[in-house]
Amino acid sequence: MIGLFDSGHGGLTIFSALQARFPARSFLYLGDHANVPYGNRPSEQVVALTRAGVEQLFSRNCRLVLLACNTATAVALRQLQQHWLPHSPWRAKGHNVVGIIAPTVEAATQTPWAVTHPQYPQKYNTDLIAVLGTSRTVASGVYPEEIGKRCPKVEVVQQASPGLAGAIEDGAADGELDRLAADCVEKLMLQTHGRAPHRAILGCTHYPLVQHLFARHLPKSTRILSQPEIVADSLEDYLARHPEFGEGGGAIIGSQLLTTGDAARVRATARLFMDASLGFERISR
């Protein structure tokens, strides 16, 4: 079973894409709805909450956990991979944790994540890449930093849309969502002085739900990079290279959804993100 962790609902877009791509695999999703949002929390709290969520999934037979959240990945993943997991008992049992930023950067730069220095022809790449995300993801600077390592001549322009993720969860009308997407793109284009980005990263897992609205307002030549399909492609490659994370030949348990919040309320909002046939089980933290 593969675990997915998110601070709330956004990772359900990743969950749905993985279910569609891997129908013979079981996934266990944990949303930390009791502590959402993570964006206004200090970094040390985000790390602690993310680590606790990963351990919950490890303890429920998930040997591989994917952080299906840009904020958790940007703030906590490196700490978990480099400082916590190597010294925890989980490493000896073959567990691992990965995130969604690495495959997104790979897709944006067409460069493997393992390549941390520019190589031909990427070092001559002078494209313009836009990053649209939450305030916390944009403030982290992780996308410009990681893209710059691989394509130093690429220009990365970021634009936050502080209210868009919340409006999506609140079930805002299409007109309001369109206004927020248009405002985000307008501010982005002011930064680029009217230049059309070659690629636009939707750096929030809520945003695939309004990808059509971004497409309406972005220049027609801009290619939109949406994380669910990117992550599914990346996980397919990862599992091919790491067969130790296979299902083990046992019976398919089926995918499950967990929350630290109110299960009924969480399920009601989840209908905006995915097929509501699966219910949420509340767990304590």
- Give residue-wise pLDDT tens across range 160-177: 999 999 999 999 999 999
- pLDDT value of residue 193: 98
Every domain of the chain and the residues it spans: 2-100+229-282, 102-226
pLDDT surpassing 60 at residue 252: no
Active site residue: 62, 151, 184, 204, which one? Answer: 204
Return the CATH fold of 2-100+229-282: Rossmann fold (3.40.50)
How far is the first Cα of the chain from the last one, in angstroms, to the nearest whole number? Answer: 21
- pLDDT value of residue 15: 97
The secondary structure of 211-228 as a DSSP string is HHHHHHHS-TTPEEEEHH
Tell me how far apart the alpha carbons of residues 219 and 223 are, in angstroms, rounded to a whole number: 9
Q: Which two tokens stand for residue 153?
A: 């001549």
pLDDT confidence band for 246 (50 / 70 / 90): confident
Active site residue 62: no
Instruction: Output the pTM of the full model.
Output: 0.94
pLDDT surpassing 80 at residue 247: no
pLDDT surpassing 90 at residue 44: yes
Average pLDDT over residues 113-117: 88
What is the three-class DSSP state of 231? helix
- pLDDT value of residue 122: 86
Q: How far is CA 192 from the centre of its chain?
A: 25
Q: Which helix or strand (DSSP H or E) is residue 135 part of?
A: helix 135-140
Convert the pLDDT of each residue in 8-26 to its tens digit: 999 999 999 999 999 999 9
What is the three-class DSSP state of 144? helix
Q: Evaluate whether 74 touches 142 at the Cβ level (below 8 Å).
A: yes
pLDDT surpassing 70 at residue 248: no
pLDDT surpassing 90 at residue 40: no
Convert the pLDDT of each residue in 66-82 to its tens digit: 999 999 999 999 999 99
How much of the chain, in percent, has pLDDT values that exceed 70?
A: 97
- At residue 50, what is the residue type? T
Active site residue: 62, 69, 151, 184, which one? Answer: 69
Arch. (CATH architecture) of 102-226: 3-Layer(aba) Sandwich (3.40)
Active site residue 151: no
Range with the lowest mean pLDDT among 28-42, 107-121, 124-138? 107-121
Evaluated on CA atoms 106, 114, 235, 41, the torsion sign reads negative
Q: Evaluate whether 200 touches 130 at the Cβ level (below 8 Å).
A: yes
Q: Which two tokens stand for residue 146?
A: 């990681």
pLDDT surpassing 90 at residue 126: yes
2-100+229-282 and 102-226 have identical folds: yes
pLDDT surpassing 80 at residue 208: yes
